[in-house]
Amino acid sequence: MNRIQLIREIFAKSNLTNYLEIGTRKGRSFLPVMAENKVAIDPALVIPFYLKFYWEFKNPNNKNNNYFDETSDEFFEKRQEFLTQLGHIDVVLVDGLHTYEAALKDTLNSLEHLSDNGVIILHDCLPPNKFAALPTKQFPTKEEKKKHGWTGAWCGDVWKAIVYLRERYPDELDTYVIDTDYGLGIVRKKTSITDLSIDKEIFDRINKIDFEEMMPKVDHMLGRKEVGQTQKLIQEIQAKS
C-alpha cells in the first residue's frame, strides 16, 4: 500500500474530513483523495489542466479545493485566519523539501492544527540506499548522480525528523515508519503537546547521524513496522471516528 492508497482508505473508512498536502507539485497524490476539504501547498504548483478536469469529473468536490502557491513556511505564517476557519486538520501528507529541517518544521506546524484522531504522514522516511539518503536542499544534480551512482530514488534525510520526534516526544506522540513506499512516517497524538519549538541540542545531535550509522539500528531509531501496519492504522482511526 502506498501513501495515496493509505490516505484514500483512511478517508473512506472514517468520518475525517480535512486533508492538507505539503508538496503537491503536479497533484498526482492530491487529486485522487476523496475528502470534504482539501488544501494543497507548493511554491511551484504545476497541475496539468487535463488532470484537474479528469479528477473534477470523477469527484466534483475537487472544484472546492484550496491551492496555495507558496512555501509551507509562508502558509503557516500567513494563513492563520484560513486555518482557524477550517477548524482542524485530520490528515497531513508531508512531501515537500526532502530535508530533515523542512520535514520537521512541517510536522510541528501541522501538529498545532491536527485533530485528536488525525494523522501526519511523512513520505520518504526509509531510503533504499545511501545515495537515496543524500542530504541536499534540491533534487540531486547531474554531478551528484554521476558521483554517487543514481538509481532513480531520492528521499533525502527526512528520516531524521522521525528520529527527532521519537526522542523529543516519546510520551506525547506515537511515531514510527511503515516499510512501504520508500518509508511512510506516521505521527499521531497520544496527548496534548505544549511545546512545539525545536530543541537545538537534539536537532544538532541527530543531524550528525548519517544513513549508514542509522540502518543497523533502524528498528529502534525509526520504529520500523511491516506494511501490514497500514491496515492496523486505518482500523485505529476508524474505531475512534
At 178, which helix (H) or strand (E)?
Answer: strand 173-178
Looking at every residue in the chain, the average pLDDT score rounds to: 94
Give pLDDT, residue 134. Answer: 81
Is the pLDDT at 144 greater than 70? The verdict is no
Condensed to tens digits (0 to 9), the pLDDT of residues 10-61 reads 999 999 999 999 999 999 999 999 999 999 999 999 999 999 999 999 999 9
The identity of residue 73, as a single letter, is: D
Q: Above 80 in pLDDT, residue 136?
A: no
* Long-range CB contacts for residues 43-50, cutoff 8 Å, separation at least 24: 43/69, 43/70, 43/71, 43/74, 44/69, 45/69
Flag whether pLDDT at 150 surpasses 70. Answer: no
pLDDT above 70: percentage of residues in the chain: 93
Q: Are 100 and 161 in contact (CB under 8 A)?
A: yes
Give the DSSP H or E segment for 80.
Answer: helix 80-86
Q: Is the pLDDT of residue 237 over 80?
A: yes
Tens-place pLDDT, residues 90-108 = 999 999 999 999 999 999 9
Three-state SS at 181: coil
First-to-last alpha carbon distance for the chain, in angstroms, is 22
Per-residue pLDDT at 143: 72
